[in-house]
Structure 1
Amino acid sequence: MATQSESFWDQRIDRGTLPLAVGDLLVIGLVLTFGVVTHNGVSYLTTDTVGWLSTLVPFYVGWLVCAPLVGAYSAGAGESAKASIPLAVRSWVPADIIGLGLRASPFFEGGADPIFIVISLVTVGVGLGVYRWLVFKVR
């Protein structure tokens, strides 16, 4: 339980959830990379690495902003799947919006096609939920 002396960030980030953070970043990258490969082929990852990374970076920025604010790495997130999964999904929704907003800006390629909005929201959200469920199932 949070005490008065704990800072906002102390309540939102617990070192024990570092494995969750690493896994979340991998899941986000893997799901988005799967989409890139589906549309462009595997060779795209090496022939246009900048294009591939410009797909990932906006969503990583969104995640790195939103996940700590929502509490995806709080002590509670490390206790059970019941707490952890909703925190990840609630973090992904605004992170996806930020990522798509960045992609729609002149700083990144790709835009924010409406179907991509739905697909990225659902596929990565499900990926994060499944990953976190598996983490607690294996423990």
Structure 2
Amino acid sequence: MSTVADRVRGRVDLSVSTAGLLLGDLVAIAAFVIIGEMSHSIDPLANPGIVADTYVPFLVGWLLAAGLAGVYARGLHESPRRKAVTVLGAWLVADAVGQLLRSTAYFHGDAALTFALVAAAVGGLFLVAWRLVLVAVMPRFRSTGRA
């Protein structure tokens, strides 16, 4: 009988490189949120609570969806195409979870269809783009002996 820990280990590679991927993903999602807030004339430095209130539903959605989809599983990074599809699929689920959470009394905002579509496109673009840049840079980084 497998335990929860066994299932997590199968879906998450507990390594430094995975921690780096997670950090980069969280920064990409934060960038999406911050740029979105700024486009609505919200100063993130003056209103960090508003930014956090927008970020948290997507953070919860991402952690849930990425874990279930195996975004941080061992071997996933071997195929950039497979990674991009998995990351994008997980983001679409994370966006849906984030929108659902935003439609509750616990977070500001709502689940407007236009915002859900923009979040799916822009957030997905940020996540996939940063990972594609990483794939392009890592072989050069490794070849210089810095990895």
TM-score (norm 1): 0.89
For 1:90, the equivalent position in structure 2 comes to 89
How many aligned residue pairs are there?
Answer: 134
Asked if structure 2 preserves the Cα contact closer than 8 Å seen for 1:76 and 1:84, the reply is: no
Structure 1 CA distance, aligned partners of 2:82 and 2:12? Answer: 14
Identity %: 29
Structure 2 CA distance, aligned partners of 1:133 and 1:121? Answer: 18
CA RMSD for the aligned pairs?
A: 1.8
**Structure with more relative contact order (C-alpha pairs < 8 Å, separation 6 or more):** 1
Structure 1 CA distance, aligned partners of 2:8 and 2:45? Answer: 38
For 2:20, the equivalent position in structure 1 comes to 19
Asked if structure 2 preserves the Cα contact closer than 8 Å seen for 1:80 and 1:136, the reply is: no
Give the Å deviation of 1:78: 2.6
Structure 2 CA distance, aligned partners of 1:95 and 1:105? Answer: 16
Give the Å deviation of 1:85: 1.2
Q: Which amino acid aligns with 1:61?
A: V
Asked if structure 1 preserves the Cα contact closer than 8 Å seen for 2:33 and 2:51, the reply is: no
Give the Å deviation of 1:94: 0.9
Give the Å deviation of 1:40: 1.8
Give the Å deviation of 1:66: 1.0
Give the Å deviation of 1:12: 0.6
Superimposed CA distance per residue, residues 29-64 of structure 1 (whole angstroms, 9 cap, x where no aligned partner): 0011100001124xx213322111101110001011
For 2:109, the equivalent position in structure 1 comes to 110
For 2:143, the equivalent position in structure 1 comes to none
Give the Å deviation of 1:86: 1.3
Any residues of structure 2 matched to 1:23-38 within 5 Å, and which?
23-38=24-39
Please, which runs of 5 or more residues in structure 2 have no aligned partner? 139-147
TM-score (norm 2): 0.84
Structure 2 CA distance, aligned partners of 1:19 and 1:49? Answer: 24
